[in-house]
Amino acid sequence: MSGRYSISILGILLVLLVALPSVSEPATGTGKQGDGTAGRPEELPVEITAERLTADNRTHTAVFEGTVVAKQGDVTLYADWMKVFYSDSGDVSKIEAKGNVRLTRGGREISSEEAVYYRKEQTVVFTGNPVAKEGNSMISGSRMIYYLGDDRSVVENSRVIIKRRNGP
């Protein structure tokens, strides 16, 4: 897709170290950061694609806008806008996502208006009408915390709808 950027946090760090004045052409290469088979989930690389990237080395943040997709292992986070916070070494510490937020993992999907991902804790906090779906079942609430490492959730003010596979 023309005008689309594919860049990992390591790529952001390299761009910042080289001090390019702006990103005007799509990144080249595969964007792959290994096969993702080794290491704990929080140690896997985070790969982000978006239509626009604005990075600020002074504040160690990068703002991605337009059809943003962040992947780490088997987890994919989609949004209209994401702000990534990273360390001096380029490691992601937190991602704030807004607008049409959706997280997928296996056959599960969680959607909301906003979410914050905390890499060290391996949690994602969803706010703004979060809804989790798996198969025919659905859980909604006012706030949802998904613990990626434990594959469990905590939902405040929850409402659960469980449907049988064949029927109501």
Query: How do the domains of the chain map onto residue ranges?
Result: 5-21+47-127
CA distance linking residue 145 with residue 115, whole number of Å: 9
Distance, in Å, from the CA atom of 165 to the CA atom of 137, rounded to the nearest integer, reads 9
Identify whether the C-beta of residue 105 lies closer than 8 Å to the C-beta of residue 75. yes
- Which residues touch 115 (CB under 8 Å, ≥6 apart)? 77, 79, 96, 97, 101, 103, 124, 125, 126, 127
Asked: is 5-21+47-127 a CATH 3.30.2320 domain? The reply is no
pLDDT in tens, the chain (168 residues): 334 444 444 334 333 333 222 222 233 333 333 443 445 656 778 899 999 999 999 999 999 999 999 998 899 999 999 999 999 888 889 999 999 999 999 999 999 999 999 988 999 999 999 999 998 899 999 999 999 989 899 999 999 998 876 655
Its pTM stands at 0.74
> How many whole angstroms separate alpha carbon 74 and alpha carbon 106?
7
Q: Tell me what pLDDT residue 27 has.
A: 32
Q: Which pLDDT score is estimated for 168? A: 55
**Could you give the 3-state DSSP secondary structure of residue 155?**
strand
Task: Give Cα 11 distance to the centre of its chain.
Answer: 17
